Chains A and B, each alone.
Chain A
């Protein structure tokens, strides 16, 4: 859904415990017609999906968020001004779960910070 329509992954690199990706936001996506009319803002809920989809792509697994203990939305992203975002994920695999601390950056500014646990989708 979101990937290839709202956003595209430009680069993605996975190392032991670290994933780094760059995504491009499509300002023409239909989501911005409703969020908000005449005032496009990348929804926080979509930033969460972007992190999940980058994590799935890097690990090659389908996941479900089990718990996000903290999600902080620090800056609004107007896709007509900012269309490239950097995703930084520190991850740790423990048995069947993946614990992450992640951030979405626009340049040097953090737009979102997240601490969460994902498990495999069944």
Chain B
């Protein structure tokens, strides 16, 4: 299935958009793709840094939540990262690398959503974490 433009489902705008396309938003699972560009604000010495990887997982989660909310009530809610646990970084991607990011909702408690996220490039693990995202209702 082809999903609508991802910018419809996240509150961030350029130059702070760290996802390109929504590939899947099925139930608790969301998948996005993102190609690292030379102009990206998180590039240092040609490498996409840790903050960018964390933001990529957070925006993937936001896109999935935003997609489901927009179907339910037509509104996009702003999400904020409350906390991150066990954020592991295995590599800093280089320019033109294509990142595939999978996020799964682990638990929802009131307006907090606990997610686990994994970023891969060419099938190799790049980063992973657990994240607590708060949604402004």
Contact = CB atoms under 8 A, between A and B. Distances in A.
A72 interface: yes
Interface residues of B, number: 32
A46 B53 CA distance: 11
A65 interface: yes
B123 interface: no
Nearest to B13: A34
Contact of B89 (A35, A44, A64, A73): A64
Given A31-B15, A33-B13, A48-B54, A65 B83 contact: no
Contact of A73 (B12, B15, B81): B81
B125 interface: no
A34 B14 contact: yes
Nearest to B92: A64
Contacts of A6: 41
Given A64-B92, A67-B86, A36 B50 contact: no
Contacts, number: 91
Interface in B106-137: 129
A67 B88 contact: yes
Interface in A40-68: 43-46, 48-49, 52, 62, 64-68
Interface residues of A, number: 30
Nearest to B58: A45
A46 B15 contact: no
Given A43-B16, A44-B80, A45-B81, 17 more contacts: A1-B43, A1-B49, A2-B41, A2-B51, A30-B15, A34-B16, A45-B52, A48-B51, A49-B50, A52-B49, A64-B50, A68-B87, A70-B85, A71-B83, A71-B84, A73-B81, A76-B80
15 contacts: A1-B42, A31-B41, A33-B16, A35-B12, A36-B78, A43-B16, A44-B58, A45-B51, A48-B50, A48-B54, A52-B49, A65-B50, A70-B83, A71-B84, A71-B87
Q: List 5 tightest A-B contacts by C-beta distance, closest first.
A: A34-B16, A45-B51, A45-B55, A34-B13, A49-B51
